[in-house]
Structure 1
Amino acid sequence: MTRLRVGLLMNPTAASGAAHRVGRQVAHLLRLAGLSVIDVSGPTAEIARARALQVRDTLTALIVVGGDGTISLGAGVVAQTPVRLGVVPAGSGNDFARALGLPVLAAEESVQGIVRALSRPVVAIDAIELSSADPDAPPMRSIAVGNVSLGFDALVNARGNRSGHRGPTRYAAAVMQEIRRFTPIPYWIEVDGGPREEIDASLLTVANTGVFGGGMRLVPDAVVDDGALSLVSLTGLGRAGLVRFFPRVYRGTHTSIDGFDVREVREVVVGVRDDRELRSYADGDSRALLPVRARILPGAVRILMDLQHSPAHGGELPS
């Protein structure tokens, strides 16, 4: 009898190398479960992606071991194909896992769930296609499954990636450092093909899961299979207001703050009205410079999990 063939993609640097150790354990557990495993990991994301694409059509599933960036990389490989995505969270923030209620740093439990899901009906979640909207820039297209950060949250993400902090405190430390010099950003936006709007905002995020920054619940009621994205904006808050805002996001009690707004969108184009260079970030990783286009890809990723019991399918987020 032919064994099911799965790819294994692990990030050797996630969680200070812990993901690589977890990945070796995952490979062993998958083989014990009777699966044929091919390791497509590489020293860089580009090499791993190329290796995964080379064998993708021979796989039943691609199993990723790492943080949100690695999950996003894997989702980009399998999006809009029959290949299913298995997730073993082993990063620092693990926000995608938090949003979907997946076990974190629990290789055996994760593999058991993946193996069970392989024999069950397909479950699909939405993804975000992010591309450059600058006609003079080289074409850039990438996939995200969590959130796209376009404002203060993007600047914090960039600082956090440069810092020596590790673990869930990295984002909080970057917030406090970046906030000292921050001023609202003058954007223009075009929503679902509508007219251009101008907005001065501190926070501008396109959300699918609505969880980022090591557990911040930006959109507490986000659903990952509803065929829509949430365009989140925060206006009218200065530095002092932002300092008070972020602790409330961890508790999910920020939604009543004046200036906080969530719009359901399927596509949005975002640019800035001055000459600054502002880079988008998605699932923790650097992406294209603004202006960018983000659009929903409904049901693009076939994920190996039971979504019916997931917080991102109408349940409560874990505390």
Structure 2
Amino acid sequence: MSSEITLFVNPTAGRGRGAGAAQPAASALRAAGFSVRSVIGEDAPDALARARAAVREGTGALVAVGGDGLVNLALQAVAGTGTPLGVVAVGTGNDFARSLGLPIREPAVAGALVAHALKQERIREIDLGRIGDHWFGTVLASGFDSRVNDRGNRMRLPLGRFKYDLAIGLELAAFKPTRFRLTLDDGAVREIDATLVAVGNGTSYGGGMRICADAAMDDGLFDVTVVGDCSRATLLRVFPRVYKGTHLTHPVVSVYRAARVELAADAITGYADGEPVGALPLVAECVSGAVRVLTG
């Protein structure tokens, strides 16, 4: 393994935390005897091209310093290559790190963990979801939650989490279920009216909302959480339970497990790792052992 480690940095993550996080992470790696170089792209395509170049050139690890959006970009560079992925989670949501029990908003601690994992070869192979040629690590969201994302992305103000809190309120005011066509593995097509369908490789999205609370990242299967057709009042009762994962026991919620999930619905965008991946229909496949993660 090369002793040169690449820090893949999003300087704007977490409203500027990414820029400040790179230095303590790099210091921890250098203190452990590694040489460190940083990759900062001019935009997402440029950043990905630079990350892929570092992987091709044989970097010892690609360490994502940022939030889930940057981790998702890093996955496009390392999935299937054997190059280990480290995570210094300093974004707003950090759900990839949450799903793996990695430090959150502690860049020096996370950097030291990455260094220790490299020294001790503590590497965990985990599954990833794949939609076409696009990889994701946590959850593919569709329905009410993706409509909230759509609305939030259109809003310029307020900033940060407040924007999405407002988007949730506005979507609740216009709430109605969606007719989905859901196919699990090679089974029959299920036509269902549902509030949302979440396809989880990891447990959470939205900064700790444990929508697929029992998902395991190394079992070769997605957990598919379906919140069925319900009233606005029921949704308001169920929604707060998602932070502890206790919503899964509510009668309106169903959970399935499958390695391949096909989702179809009209006028719904799919979001994977919080990033838009396109309008439904989409097919997601769980790929076992697709990435090697430094876990300490």
| Pairwise TM-score range, normalised by the shorter structure | over 0.9
For residues 253 and 187 of structure 1, the distance between their equivalents in structure 2, rounded to whole angstroms, comes to 24
Show the 5 A alignment for 1:29-48: 29-48=28-47
Q: Kindly, what percent of the aligned residue pairs are identical?
A: 38
Query: CA 1:161–1:100 in 2, change beyond 3 Å: closer, same or farther?
Result: farther
Q: Deviations over 1:144-178 (max 9, x none)?
A: 10100011111112233344345555544332221
- SS of residue matched to 2:262: strand
Is the counterpart of residue 158 in structure 1 residue 157 in structure 2? no
Letter of the 1:246 counterpart:
F
Q: Deviations over 1:7-40 (max 9, x none)?
A: 1111122111111221233233323332122322
Letter of the 2:289 counterpart:
G
Deviation at 1:6, TM superposition (A): 1.5
Query: CA 1:44–1:227 in 2, change beyond 3 Å: closer, same or farther?
Result: same
Match of 1:83 in 2: 83
Show the 5 A alignment for 1:159-178: 159-163=151-155, 164-178=157-171
Q: Residue 175 of structure 2: which of 158, 182, 185 is its match? A: 182
For residues 56 and 17 of structure 1, the distance between their equivalents in structure 2, rounded to whole angstroms, comes to 26
Q: Residue 300 of structure 1: which of 282, 286, 290 is its match? A: 290
Q: Deviations over 1:39-87 (max 9, x none)?
A: 2221211111011112213111100011111111111210111100000
Is the counterpart of residue 217 in structure 1 residue 216 in structure 2? no
Letter of the 1:6 counterpart:
I
Match of 1:100 in 2: 100
Residues 28 and 115 of structure 2 are in contact (CA less than 8 Å); yes or no, is this contact kept in structure 1? no
For residues 32 and 106 of structure 2, the distance between their equivalents in structure 1, rounded to whole angstroms, comes to 16
Letter of the 1:267 counterpart:
R
Match of 1:288 in 2: 278
Match of 1:317 in 2: none
Structure 2: where are the runs of 5+ without partners? none
Match of 2:49 in 1: 50
- SS of residue matched to 1:65: strand
Query: CA 1:192–1:294 in 2, change beyond 3 Å: closer, same or farther?
Result: same
Match of 1:59 in 2: 59
Deviation at 1:266, TM superposition (A): 0.2
- SS of residue matched to 1:281: strand
- When normalised by structure 1's length, the TM-score is 0.86
For residues 165 and 288 of structure 1, the distance between their equivalents in structure 2, rounded to whole angstroms, comes to 25
Match of 2:250 in 1: 257
Residues 217 and 251 of structure 1 are in contact (CA less than 8 Å); yes or no, is this contact kept in structure 2? yes
Residues 260 and 286 of structure 2 are in contact (CA less than 8 Å); yes or no, is this contact kept in structure 1? yes
Is the counterpart of residue 194 in structure 1 residue 193 in structure 2? no
- SS of residue matched to 1:264: strand
For residues 297 and 262 of structure 1, the distance between their equivalents in structure 2, rounded to whole angstroms, comes to 20
Match of 2:16 in 1: 17
Structure 1: where are the runs of 5+ without partners? 132-140, 307-319
Match of 2:26 in 1: 27
Residues 64 and 88 of structure 1 are in contact (CA less than 8 Å); yes or no, is this contact kept in structure 2? yes
For residues 8 and 38 of structure 1, the distance between their equivalents in structure 2, rounded to whole angstroms, comes to 6
Residues 6 and 36 of structure 2 are in contact (CA less than 8 Å); yes or no, is this contact kept in structure 1? yes
For residues 97 and 165 of structure 1, the distance between their equivalents in structure 2, rounded to whole angstroms, comes to 26
For residues 278 and 290 of structure 1, the distance between their equivalents in structure 2, rounded to whole angstroms, comes to 6
Q: Deviations over 1:130-156 (max 9, x none)?
A: 13xxxxxxxxx3111010001111111
Letter of the 2:281 counterpart:
P
For residues 147 and 214 of structure 1, the distance between their equivalents in structure 2, rounded to whole angstroms, comes to 12
Residues 198 and 211 of structure 2 are in contact (CA less than 8 Å); yes or no, is this contact kept in structure 1? no
For residues 239 and 253 of structure 1, the distance between their equivalents in structure 2, rounded to whole angstroms, comes to 19
For residues 206 and 122 of structure 2, the distance between their equivalents in structure 1, rounded to whole angstroms, comes to 32
